[in-house]
Structure formats: C-alpha cells, structure tokens
Amino acid sequence: LDGRVAIKLHSGEAGNQNFLKPEFWKPVIDYVGGTVVECNTAYEGERNTTAKHKKTLEAHGWSRYFKVDLLDAEGPDLELAIPNGKVIQKNFVGKDLADYDSLLVLSHFKGHAMGGFGGALKNISIGIASSAGKAWIHTAGKTKTDLWNNLPEQDHFLESMAEAAKAVTTHCGENILYISVMNRLSVDCDCDSNPEEPKMADIGMLASLDPVALDKACVDLVYASPDPGRVHLIERMESRHGIHIVEHAEALGMGSQRYDLVSLDDK
C-alpha cells in the first residue's frame, strides 16, 4: 500500500462486546503504518456526532494506540459519482478520504440487522459514507437526513450499498487491500449496543484484493461450517437476502464470486 494509508475498521458502538479491539489489530496496523479512519453514524447512539464518536474512540482504546481520523468530522462531504448506478448515482463520504493514497479495509464479518451480513463491501460503503451519506444509502437515495421514515424495498437498499462501495473502489483504484475476520459471529452488527451472543464458533481470517470474492467466501464458509449453530446466522442472511449485495457488486464489475480459497497452513 503506497503513500498515506487509511485503515478503515469498526470502532464499535458503546456497549457492543463483539467488535475487534485495538489490541487485536495493533500488530497489523503497526506493520502497515497509517491512520485509523472512521465516520459518524446516522442513528442515535454514542457515535452519531463527532464529539461523542471521539469519546467512544478514546473509551475503546483506539486513540490510545493509533492516530485516528474521523473522515467526516467536519464538512462538506466529498461527493463521489456513480455513473452506472442503478439506484444511486452519487455517494457522500467523509471529505478526509481525499487525504489518503491507499486503503486497508479491516472488517469483522458477522450478521447485520438490515443487510443480513456485514463484511468488506459494507465496510467500504456504509462504513466510509459520512453520516449524511449513510442515510442516503439506507434510503436508496431518497434523503440524507430522515433515515427511518424513508426505508426502501430491501433489494434497493442492498444495491445502494453495493453502488456506494463501487464509488469508493473507483476513487481508490488498485490501492485497496481487504482483510476479514470471522469470529464472534453474532447475527447482529458491531453497531448494535446490545448484540445477540454468537451461536456458532469462530471460523478464521481471510484476505483478498477482491471484496466480492472475499464476502462470498465468508458466506460460503458459514454454510460449510459443521457447527449446528450456523442456522442462526444463515437465517439472518437469507431473511434479508444478504447475498444480493455480492451479486450486484459483481454486476458492477467490482470483482467475482468465483475464487480459489488458499490456506496459509498449506504453505
């Protein structure tokens, strides 16, 4: 990863016990160097304003170990075009994204109340969107303010997420690397202050230059798990048609659902 490296991860909502902690990521971040980046949320909580988010970053230890940049701490947002967007034609991200040359995407793969699952694609779409951009994605381009009263049909939301991710990959070009960790596999996101305890065991860590292949591999590994507790996460993914974000991202040319899974244990 060249130049100034932005390291996108999930800072964890206050009360959440599943997000990957600074101590876990520290060896990777220290090795790569760079700045931990996040964006404010579009829902009430302890991360929806810059002041509250900074306190949460300090409470969770991120500011203790790393240089941290809230990309949308101050406006105006950076607007990214999506010329081939089916649902949205523009994406709004934290303006500080323009200050970086490369992007390291550190994701915790798990379930998600609205998306079915959250992985690499969600981390670069909703994750890098500003607070207003998050509302824009969730409402499939209807509004940047009133999120909960403007929710679209489910597939349009998933397509909006994929298209927002496309805007980020287009902006960054080839200077992106993705790592996803499949542990603490709750049906709920790290944005949930009171997530359900995981019902299945950890699976492992995956990495790729292709976010489509990476998310598809993670989904496939959940289905292939011998753990009977997998049915809970599978139900969450299927009830939200979660795989559609992968399908639409592939249709947008972001990557391929076909992949080779290479185990480092075999090296």
pLDDT tens by residue, 62-81:
999 999 999 999 999 999 99
- Coil, helix or strand at residue 249: helix
CA distance 63 to 56: 9
Amino acid at position 184, single letter: R
- CB contact at 8 A, 163 and 87: yes
Mean pLDDT of the chain, nearest integer: 97
pTM above 0.85, yes or no: yes
Amino acid at position 107, single letter: S
Would you place residue 267 in the very low, low, confident or very high pLDDT band (cuts 50, 70, 90)?
Answer: low
Give one word for 49, left, alpha or beta, with left for phi > 0 and alpha for psi -120 to 50.
Answer: beta
Both tokens of residue 129?
Answer: 């969107």
The pLDDT value given to residue 141: 97
Is the pLDDT at 249 greater than 90? The verdict is yes
- CB contact at 8 A, 167 and 80: yes
The pLDDT value given to residue 186: 98
What is the pLDDT averaged over residues 105-117? Answer: 98
Would you place residue 266 in the very low, low, confident or very high pLDDT band (cuts 50, 70, 90)?
Answer: low
Is the pLDDT at 261 greater than 60? The verdict is yes
Angle at 56 between CA 97 and CA 66, to 5 degrees: 55
Determine what percent of the chain is predicted with pLDDT higher than 90.
Answer: 96
User: At a CB cut-off of 8 Å and minimum separation 6, what does 47 contact?
Assistant: 11, 13, 14, 38, 40, 41, 53, 56, 191
Would you place residue 265 in the very low, low, confident or very high pLDDT band (cuts 50, 70, 90)?
Answer: confident
pLDDT digits (tens, 9 = 90+) for 133-179: 999 999 999 999 999 999 999 999 999 999 999 999 999 999 999 99
User: At a CB cut-off of 8 Å and minimum separation 6, what does 55 contact?
Assistant: 46
Is the pLDDT at 131 greater than 90? The verdict is yes
The pLDDT value given to residue 255: 98
